[in-house]
């Protein structure tokens, strides 16, 4: 039994020795790689390559002398130059209304009629009174003639003759008054037929058949859309720069195209309270214009030549104005001193622009706002225009 235990012990020692040898060999192989690891760690990951900003032709503009148009912002409502609210001239019930909103009308076209029975009675009464006054006048005239013949023969006194003359004069005055009343009644009769005072379109009808209207009650509103004006209130300092015949460009709600206009009048009096001055701009005709639409735009007041860039190219960094210039394939931030603002053409039509007083040379390429906000030093390349 002792020999069995000894045999198992020797066998266990041999197995342990073999395992120890294998582990040592493995560690020796790993030790060689471990000595190379510090060198690999020292090399680190490969350096990152900065991305190149690709700029389209529309993202870049060239700073150059331009005709910079000064402008004053204006806004307000469009108002028809010719419009009218037709009022009732007589008190009467409405018999019929012949037009509706939006319908075109001609000058003199019948719009509605009022019940004319009352006015017809008044006309007949006035004419009868005028006829009675004419008869009294005739009686007074014959009596006066008779008194004159008797006075010539010495049968009546001068006092009686003068009294007959006064009676005749009074009768004639009464006749004239009665005739005037008859004319007024005839005019009232004619006013029961309401006609359009001007050509245009019906903007509103205020009454319906069967309603009784009073004198001066509104009946129908008519607007002539052939001539529209923008009434804009501007600050006093801006009003001093505006003069008649200056051109303007407007954007009107609901109309995609830019409309042209010109200054036609300037109110000589400022508005109480706000001290603003009302400026009137005549808008050139265009489809879709309506009385009351809101419009905004600019009046071009003056022009001067100056070094300018698009307004979108002017940026602010830490409270200081700057532009991003494309120089030698990189974006460079350049602090500038901006001047007056206006509009200039950089090749794609008039757009907002700003004068550069200092900090930029003519010919410099600057990034518009559409290029985003790349950092100073960012590599960039300008793609050719297609």
Position with higher pLDDT, 7 vs 329: 329
Tell me how far apart the alpha carbons of residues 357 and 341 are, in angstroms, rounded to a whole number. Answer: 11
Give helix then strand counts, H and E, for the chain. Answer: 4, 21
- Residue 46's alpha-carbon distances to 37, 41, 49, 172, in angstroms, are 17, 12, 9, 122
Give SS3 for 288.
coil
- Pairing mode, strands 259-266 and 277-283: antiparallel
* Cβ-based neighbour number of residue 247 at 10 Å: 14
Using the Cα atoms of residue 159, residue 164, residue 168 and residue 170 in order, give the sign of their dihedral. positive
Check residue 332 and give its pLDDT: 94
Check residue 69 and give its pLDDT: 83
Question: pLDDT (tens digit, 9 = 90+) per residue, 104-161?
Answer: 999 999 999 999 999 999 999 999 999 999 999 999 999 999 888 888 888 888 888 8
| Residue 352: partners with Cβ closer than 8 Å, 6 or more residues away | 310, 311, 312, 341, 342, 343
Best CA proximity match to 288, nearest among 324, 316, 250, 317? 250
pLDDT surpasses 50 at 7: no
Check residue 349 and give its pLDDT: 83
pLDDT band of 275, cuts 50, 70, 90: very high
- The CA-to-CA distance between both ends of the chain, in Å, stands at 101
Question: pLDDT (tens digit, 9 = 90+) per residue, 18-52?
Answer: 444 443 444 344 444 333 444 444 445 555 556 88
Check residue 46 and give its pLDDT: 56
What pTM value is reported for the model?
Answer: 0.64
| Mean predicted lDDT score pLDDT of the chain | 87
Q: Name the residue with tokens 């009434």.
A: 231
Using an 8 Å Cβ cutoff, are 93 and 211 in contact?
Answer: yes
Best CA proximity match to 220, nearest among 103, 48, 47, 57? 103
Tell me how far apart the alpha carbons of residues 254 and 256 are, in angstroms, rounded to a whole number. Answer: 7
Tell me how far apart the alpha carbons of residues 342 and 261 are, in angstroms, rounded to a whole number. Answer: 18
Question: pLDDT (tens digit, 9 = 90+) per residue, 154-195?
Answer: 888 888 889 999 999 999 999 999 999 999 999 999 999 999
């Amino acid at each position: 039994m002792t020999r069995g235990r000894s045999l198992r012990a020797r066998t266990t020692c041999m197995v342990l020795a073999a395992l120890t040898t294998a582990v040592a060999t493995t560690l020796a192989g790993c030790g060689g790689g471990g000595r190379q690891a510090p060198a690999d760690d020292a090399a680190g990951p490969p350096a990152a390559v900065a991305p190149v900003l690709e700029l389209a032709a529309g993202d870049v503009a060239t700073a150059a002398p331009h005709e910079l148009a000064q402008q004053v912002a204006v806004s307000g409502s469009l108002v028809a130059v010719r419009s009218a609210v037709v009022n009732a001239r007589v008190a009467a019930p409405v018999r019929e209304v012949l037009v509706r909103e939006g319908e075109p009308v001609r000058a003199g076209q019948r719009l509605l009629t009022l019940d004319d029975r009352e006015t017809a009675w008044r006309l007949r009464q006035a004419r009868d009174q005028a006829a009675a006054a004419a008869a009294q006048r005739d009686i007074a005239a014959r009596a006066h003639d008779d008194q004159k013949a008797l006075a010539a023969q010495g049968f009546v006194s001068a006092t009686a003759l003068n009294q007959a003359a006064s009676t005749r004069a009074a009768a004639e005055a009464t006749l004239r008054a009665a005739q005037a009343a008859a004319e007024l009644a005839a005019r009232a009769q004619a006013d029961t037929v309401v006609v359009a005072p001007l050509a245009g379109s019906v903007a509103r009808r205020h009454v319906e058949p069967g309603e009784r209207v009073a004198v001066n009650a509104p009946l129908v509103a008519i607007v002539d859309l052939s001539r529209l004006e923008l009434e804009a209130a501007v600050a006093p300092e801006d009003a001093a720069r505006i003069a008649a015949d200056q051109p303007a460009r407007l954007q009107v709600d609901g109309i995609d195209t830019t409309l042209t206009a010109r200054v036609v009048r300037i109110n000589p009096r400022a508005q109480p309270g706000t001290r603003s001055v009302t400026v009137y701009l005549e808008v050139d005709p265009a489809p879709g214009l309506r009385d009351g639409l809101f419009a905004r735009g600019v009046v071009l007041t003056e022009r001067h030549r100056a070094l300018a860039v698009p307004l979108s190219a002017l940026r602010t960094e830490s409270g200081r104005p700057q532009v991003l210039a494309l120089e030698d394939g990189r974006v460079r931030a350049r602090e500038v001193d901006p001047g007056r603002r206006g509009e200039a053409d950089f090749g794609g039509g008039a757009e907002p622009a700003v004068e550069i007083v200092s900090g930029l040379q003519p010919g410099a390429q600057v990034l518009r706002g559409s290029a985003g906000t790349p950092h100073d030093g960012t590599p960039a390349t300008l793609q050719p225009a297609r």
